[in-house]
Chains A and B, each alone.
Chain A
Amino acid sequence: MTLVELTLYFMLLSLISVGGMPSVLPELQRYAVDVKGWMTPDDFIQVFAVGQAAPGPNVLIASLVGWKVAGLPGALLALAAMCGPAAVLAWWVAEAWDRFKDTPWRRAIQRAIAPVVVALILSGGFILATPAAPDWRLWAIAAASAVGMLISKANPLWFLAAGGAIGGFLLA
């Protein structure tokens, strides 16, 4: 039953995941933690951290949530469900979208989506850095890596590594 629910949920999430995984993290956290109680807020940030540190598309966070809920079948189904409906859409839309390159409504859609996606990514970052009560240590690490990525072009893995090292000192 959980597997069916997990799959259906990720299929729906797939269809509204404009901007990719970062935009749907607030929603995924709300559902997995607040609504379903599949994991604690602290577990969620751990799952996210492993997903970010491992190589590969960050949509794999979905498969980690699936893994935590229902093992290997959960991981496979979550990933397939998170990618499938969007992939079908990409299959059909790609060429049509190309044809309408210069139409005003396409430009309107592009301009409309941008601020919404920015707000959702910002919300994802805020929620992950605030798993329970506000904690200055998590906010400090998040702020430092945000500033770091804005002023340098280093591989993001360095910021994750630095965050891990600081976390080991501050949070243990």
Chain B
Amino acid sequence: MNVAPPKTLGELFFGFLSIGARSFGGVMPWAHRVMVEERRWVTEADFAETIGLCQFLPGPNIGNASIVYGKRWFGLAGALVAFLGLFALPFVWVLALFALYADFAATNATLRAVVTGVGAAGAGLFIGTAIKLGRVLVRRPAALILITGCFLAAGIGRVSLFVLLPVSFACALLAARRGWL
């Protein structure tokens, strides 16, 4: 497959704009479609590897990917342009949707109920994602203990992540070094 990176900053901007504009129900499938299939900026393997890296870095995965690719092709200007292109439309839309919702929600109990239902379904998607990712991990007892412990601390005990993350990550790293994970 022939791939060629975008030639101009404008092309980069509009590519990421079209990812953000269409990303109903999740950004990642659209990023793949635009960058790999439609515009052929990167190969399948390159895309998978970059996203894999961005998942291990803090911050929004796709936001980080826009920085990494923008930098690779156009340096600082590219990173900024790709990031702005990605967020420009979704930012406006989410605020518009929220403003619209806030206007009606004050007087309309049914709307609040519907939106709470959407929220609960979204919570379910998180739980489903955790199960999907966790299924393979929990075959190792150490991973099961870590997941249970972190869930009890964050979900039930409401421990601050600023405490929980360093502690749990240190434990996990120790376990990983001993080959338990």
A interface residues with partner B (beta carbon < 8 Å)? 12-27, 30-31, 34, 42, 45-60, 63-64, 67, 72, 75, 79, 82-83, 85-87, 89-91, 93-94, 97-98, 108-129, 137-139, 141-150, 155-157, 159-168, 170-172
Residues B134 and A112 in contact, CB atoms below 8 Å apart = no
CB contacts between A and B, total, < 8 Å: 358
Q: How far is the CB of A90 from chain B (nearest CB, A)?
A: 4
CB within 8 Å of A: which of B80-119?
83, 86-87, 89-91, 93-95, 97-98, 101, 105, 109-110, 112-119
Q: Flag B134-176 by CB within 8 Å of A: 1 or 0 each.
A: 1001000001001111110011001011100100110011011
Say whether A121 contacts B126, CB under 8 Å.
Answer: yes
Interchain CB contact (< 8 A) of A166 among B117, B146, B168: B117
* Complex CA–CA separation, A21 to B94 (angstroms): 16
| B123 CB–A CB distance under 8 Å | yes
Answer whether residue B124 sits at the interface, using C-beta atoms and an 8 A cutoff.
yes
Q: Are A129 and B160 in contact (CB under 8 A)?
A: no
Q: Which residues of B contact A127 (CB under 8 A)?
A: 123, 155
Would you call B124 and A141 a contact (CB within 8 A)?
Answer: yes
- Tell me the complex Cα distance, A108–B179, Å: 9
Q: Assuming the A-B contacts A20-B61, A86-B63, A122-B147, are A55 and B127 also in contact, with contact meaning beta carbons closer than 8 angstroms in the complex? A: no
Given contacts A48-B119, A49-B122, A163-B120, contact A55 B146 (CB under 8 A): no
Q: Which residues of B contact A123 (CB under 8 A)?
A: 150-151, 154-155
Q: Are B154 and A118 closer than 8 Å at their CB atoms?
A: no
**Contacts A45-B116, A87-B63 given; does A55 touch B71 at CB 8 Å:** no
A137 to B90 Cα, complex, angstroms: 30
Cβ 8 A contact of B91, one of A26, A48, A60: A60
Cα A93 to Cα B104 with chains together (Å):
45
A83 to B87, alpha carbons, bound, how many Å? 11
Interface size class, chain B:
35 or more
| Nearest A-chain residue to B158, judged by Cβ | A30
Query: Does B58 contact A142, Cβ atoms closer than 8 Å?
Result: no
Candidates B25, B58, B124, B165; contact of A125 at CB < 8 Å: B124
* Listed residue (B53, B114, B151) with the most chain A CB atoms within 10 angstroms of its CB: B114
12 new A-B contacts, CB < 8 A, other than A20-B59, A114-B137, A167-B120, are A18-B57, A50-B98, A52-B122, A57-B27, A86-B63, A86-B64, A91-B68, A98-B53, A113-B172, A122-B126, A122-B130, A145-B120
B130 near A125 with CB under 8 A, answer: yes
Partner of B93, one of A21, A55, A120, A165: A55
Instruction: Report if A115-B118 is in contact (Cβ < 8 Å); known contacts: A22-B126, A55-B90, A56-B94.
Output: no
* Cβ contacts under 8 Å, A117 to chain B: 133
Highest count of chain B CB atoms <10 Å: which of A30, A90, A129, A155: A90
Give A16 Cβ to nearest chain B Cβ, in Å: 5
Contacting residues, chain A, for B121 (C-beta < 8 A):
141-142, 144-145, 159-160, 162-164, 167
Interface membership of B128, Cβ < 8 A: yes
